[in-house]
Structure 1
Amino acid sequence: MPLIEDLQDPKLLEATLETQRVFDGNLLHVNRDTVALPDGSTATREYILHPGAVMIIPVLPDGRLLLERQYRYPLHRVFLEFPAGKLEAGEDALLCAQRELLEETGYTASAWEFLGVLHPIISYTDEEIRLFLAKGLTAGEAQLDEGEFVECVAVSMDELVAGVLDGTITDAKTVSGIFWAQQKGLR
């Protein structure tokens, strides 16, 4: 049985019959679609449309990684996460990553590497997060948006892995970023 080979297997595809916009927000839009299933029956699919985002894995000169502590309202708690942000309409992903790193942390980077794309919640959103590794960091002044409160912290790879394993770090994009950092040989 193929695992990765045939991701467009016609036996599994659904066809959109009708789309209805249920909600239009500043950031998110919600659609409700009627779809034809592979067996010919129909079903309803509700999902969130998202403009896309970037996440940055910033590597400090001493090898530690730069993360943020930030309160996330939907879960009413502070999370430890890599810097990230939403793409503006038509914005290049690398330019967005550079902008977000500067705005949220005050740092700029002399070397950037695109790592890949993450789909954080495939069951109900089309969000894609483009992942970047940033090296050659130079400190500066953060330029936080009004109403944005972020605390930057330097964390070792050992601390990050321990945080995932003990349940302290649960943000999916950050867990994925830790995996990518390990694959790049960061310690």
Structure 2
Amino acid sequence: MSTEDPHLVEHTVATEELLKASFLHVVRDTVRLPNGRTSTREYILHPGAVMVIPLLDDGRIVLERQYRHPVKGVLVEFPAGKLDAGEDHLACAKRELLEETGYAAREWALAGALNLAVGYSDECIDIWFARGLTLTKPELDDGEFVEVILADPGDFLAWCRDGKVKDSKTLAGALWLQNVLSGAWNLHWRS
């Protein structure tokens, strides 16, 4: 809770569970508004996730194409996935990169985090960079179908500009990639 902006903060007075399924957990909070009145807020609880921006030694990046049922289309995305209960964020990044692309990385850097859809979800996604990649074999989850593609960063950024890339986390990753590659933003790499 923010202590710097008390004139904007809402206080939860009650929570009601609306749906708890294998993937979605939806709640309705009754909140006290800054003016003393009450209102409701419905949103999705999410365990958190990671996204990986994999950098190949030759300068290309690793992306994937995957069908996303809610939008009824195949999207270009950076590898990403949900945290398992109690899972360390870096361990999740390593697992997702290997499962979805077949790549393992020698070095990792945490870039930052993003809140995906603050109007209806508490989901927070860590943005990781990976380099020193070695190709092994993908270990996709049952029912997961992914096409791994390699791209020049300039081509990828053009796809973002031209609307070929529509996934919001991948577009946020493009901002990080552009600034890291230009030297404007620095990363702290670790093995």
Shorter chain as denominator, the TM-score bin is: over 0.9
One-letter identity of the residue aligned with 1:171: D
2:124 is the counterpart of 1:128 = yes
Out of 34, 39, 43, the residue aligned to residue 38 of structure 1 is: 34
Residues of 1 paired with 2:168 and 2:141: CA distance?
24
Out of 16, 23, 42, the residue aligned to residue 20 of structure 1 is: 16
| Sequence identity (%) | 52
One-letter identity of the residue aligned with 1:68: E
Q: Which residue of 1 aligns with 2:177?
A: 181
Out of 51, 63, 87, the residue aligned to residue 67 of structure 1 is: 63
Answer whether contact 1:63 1:186 (CA < 8 A) is retained: no
2:149 is the counterpart of 1:153 = yes
1:37-186 equivalent positions in 2, closer than 5 A: 37-185=33-181
Q: Deviations over 1:93-118 (max 9, x none)?
A: 00000011111111000010011111
Q: Which runs of 5+ in 2 are unaligned?
A: 184-191
TM-aligned CA deviation for residue 25 of structure 1 = 1.0
TM-score normalized by the length of structure 1: 0.94
Residues of 2 paired with 1:35 and 1:160: CA distance?
42
TM-aligned CA deviation for residue 76 of structure 1 = 0.5
Q: CA RMSD in A?
A: 1.4
Q: Deviations over 1:58-116 (max 9, x none)?
A: 00121111000000000000000000011000000000000111111110000100111
TM-aligned CA deviation for residue 186 of structure 1 = 6.1
SS in 2 for 1:184: helix
Q: Which runs of 5+ in 1 are unaligned?
A: 1-5
Q: Deviations over 1:28-51 (max 9, x none)?
A: 200011111111111110000011
TM-score normalized by the length of structure 2: 0.92
Aligned length, in residue pairs: 182
TM-aligned CA deviation for residue 174 of structure 1 = 0.3
Shift in alpha-carbon separation, 1:28–1:186, aligned structure 2, 3 A:
farther
Residues of 2 paired with 1:97 and 1:159: CA distance?
25
Residues of 1 paired with 2:109 and 2:3: CA distance?
27
Q: Which residue of 1 aligns with 2:186?
A: none
SS in 1 for 2:13: strand
The runs of at least 4 consecutive aligned structure 1 residues that moved more than 2 Å come to none
TM-aligned CA deviation for residue 8 of structure 1 = 3.7
